[in-house]
Structure formats: structure tokens, C-alpha cells
Structure 1
């Protein structure tokens, strides 16, 4: 079993990853700004600011895997990419593998095609900065990290989020950086995304790569 630290472990994707990893017997630590109303047994919860390096250091030290599940909105709207740069540096120093909850817009519609994020003219203004920041991680920041950092950027299908939670089906499809569209046109649920996410951690078949999960 692995020691897995989830940064943003009480959010939509993060809480599902925590639950899935813990259910498989992994030693899970969750770091977030607030503690959950219903903590999961055998999970260590740490309350703190992810932009504070000292707060990040302790739960990352000794972790086999660090899962980043923070979003570029709210308190992290202007510091999201900086937070991930720090997260990557600390994970690299600790010898931890880094798995990142990504976004759909950083995927490509076809092999060799520009990423969806290349043309954001159709994106609503209120989420434009959020989409740009998320895509910036895989387009610029993660590829620029030292080769010693083993990372995987895990994008969900479109419409992934708490506003369209979906149902757990107990299955998923895995693609690379080219978007795999859901068979039913719906968003993958957090539970099924977490199922695929933890499978990726356990199988350890992808390295310094982007993948995507859908139904």
C-alpha cells in the first residue's frame, strides 16, 4: 500500500480520491483549508493553507504519491500556478510521484491538433482565467519541471464538476492527451474519476504524461 497525500482533499475531486484510496487500504492524508463534516475513518486530515510552504512540507515529506486537487478559483485565483510550482518542487525533493487533477480544455480534439485551450473565445469571461491557469500547468509548468519529478496530469471529460455530479457506474475509459468523449454525452462522476485516478496511481504505467478519463 502507498502513502498518498491529497492536496485539496475535501473538494469535489479531492474528497472522492481520498475516499477511493482509503477504501483500498492506502495510508491517506488530506490537506485542505477546512476539515470535512464527515471524516473518513483511517484518513489523516490536516487543516492549512496550501499556499504556505511550511504547511505543505510536512504532509508531503515521506509520501509515496502527492495528488494535487486544488482549483484556480477563490483564494487560489491568483496563486494557483505558483502553488503548484511549490508543490512540484516539494514532491520532487521528497521523491514523491505527483498526480494532478487537470481540466478538459488542455486536451486535444485529435492527434497533433491544437489543444482546446488554444482558442478560448467561446469560454465565458467569468471562468476564462480559471481555464487558462489550469491549462498552463500542462502546457508550460509541468513539462518544465526537473526530469526527476514523475508526474501525471489527469484530465476529466467535459462538464466535470459538482454542478453535474453524475452517478457511480464503476467503470471509466482511459485516453491520452486526445479527448475521449463520453459514450452517453454526460460527465464522468467524481466517484468514477477517482476510481480511474487511483488505478493510475497503483498501476504506475504513465510518466510525465497527460491522460484523460471519461465514461
Structure 2
């Protein structure tokens, strides 16, 4: 079983990943700014931010897989991409695998593009977060070849505002947004977590982004 350390383990995506990983017997540690009101069985909770070099070093040292499931546009007042050099260095030094809950905005809507964030109907209010996560993905793609990483982009509708149906199944799409026959694109938190923990266990997408949807 793997030691899975999650930054943002009480958020929507991180909480579902923590629950799924713990249910499979993985050792799970969650880092958040404050302790959860309803802790999950099998999950250890610590307070701290990845913006702290000391916290980050300790978290990476405890991890086989270090999961980042935080907002892309604002981590303690700065974009997540700001912290990528220290994240990458901490994980390389510890020998862990670096894993990200990404955004849907950087996903391609068709082979060769454009990205979802660049389409006319993408809401302006969502663009700062989407573009911040796209910067993180680019930083990973430019990272040294000895960094083991993966990045998972959910379907277009994903989050507490669109919980979706738990089906126990999912589809993947490489860099392309996963859509249904009617053009809709959604995935539940539980099924996204299923895909994420499957990747932790199966190592099917080394140094790759992949998309997930129903």
C-alpha cells in the first residue's frame, strides 16, 4: 500500500480522493489550514500549507505519492505555479510521485485544440483559475525527466455545485475533454477519485496529463 499525502485533503476533490484511498487500505495524510469538522476514518490530519518550505519538505518525506488538490489561482496569496519549483525539488529529493488535481480549462475540446478555456462559451469568472492550473501543467511538462508526475483534468462540470451521479465507472481521454454523446461533460467526485486512485495504484500515465469523465 502507498503512503498518500494530500494538500487540500478536506476539499471537494481532495476529500473524495482521501476517502477512496483510505478505503483501499492506503496510508493517507491530509494537510489543510485547519482541522476538519468531520474527519474521515483512516485519514490522518495535519495543519499546514504547501507555501511553507518546512511543511512541504516534511510532507514529501512522508509520501510515496504527494497529491496537490488546491486552488490554482490563490495559495496563500499567490498562484499555485509560484510554488512549483519548491514542490518539484521537494518531491525529487524524496523520491515521491507528484500528482495534481487539475482543471478542465486546459483540456482540448478536439484533437489539436482549442483548449476549453479558449472557447467562446467559457465563463470569464472561471478563467483565472483555469489559466492558473494550465500554468501548473506546463511547469510539469518542463520539469526534469527524473520527476515522476501525473495530472488529472476532470470533466467540464465537476465540483460541489455539480455533484453528479456515482456510477463506479469513468472514461479517460488523454488531453481531450471527455464528453457524452449529447456533448455534455461531467463527472462525480466519487468517480473522479476512483480514476485518481486507480492511477496511484496502476501507474498508467507516467509524466502525463489525462482527462476523466462519465
Partner of 1:199: 198
Q: What RMSD, in angstroms, separates the aligned Cα atoms of the two structures?
A: 1.8
Q: CA deviation at 1:73?
A: 4.3
Consecutive unaligned residues of structure 2, counting only runs of 5 or more, are none
Consecutive unaligned residues of structure 1, counting only runs of 5 or more, are none
Moved more, 93-102 or 106-115: 106-115
CA distance in 2, matches of 1:102, 1:136: 10
Distance 1:114 1:125, change over 3 A: closer
CA distance in 2, matches of 1:120, 1:137: 20
Distance 1:209 1:74, change over 3 A: closer
CA distance in 2, matches of 1:123, 1:113: 14
Aligned residues: 213
Corresponding position: 1:162 with 2:160: yes
Q: Aligned ranges for residues 54-93 of structure 1 at < 5 Å?
A: 54-76=54-76, 78-93=78-93
Partner of 2:211: 212
SS at 2:5 equivalent: strand
Give the TM-score taking structure 2 as reference length: 0.92
Q: Aligned ranges for residues 181-192 of structure 1 at < 5 Å?
A: 181-182=179-180, 185=184, 187-192=186-191
Q: Summarize deviations over 1:91-127 as a string: whole Å, max 9, x none.
A: 111111111101111111222233233x265443333
Retained in 2: the 8 A contact 1:98–1:150?
A: yes
Partner of 1:28: 28
CA distance in 1, matches of 2:186, 2:119: 20
CA distance in 1, matches of 2:109, 2:79: 29
Partner of 2:127: 128
Partner of 1:39: 39
CA distance in 2, matches of 1:52, 1:95: 19
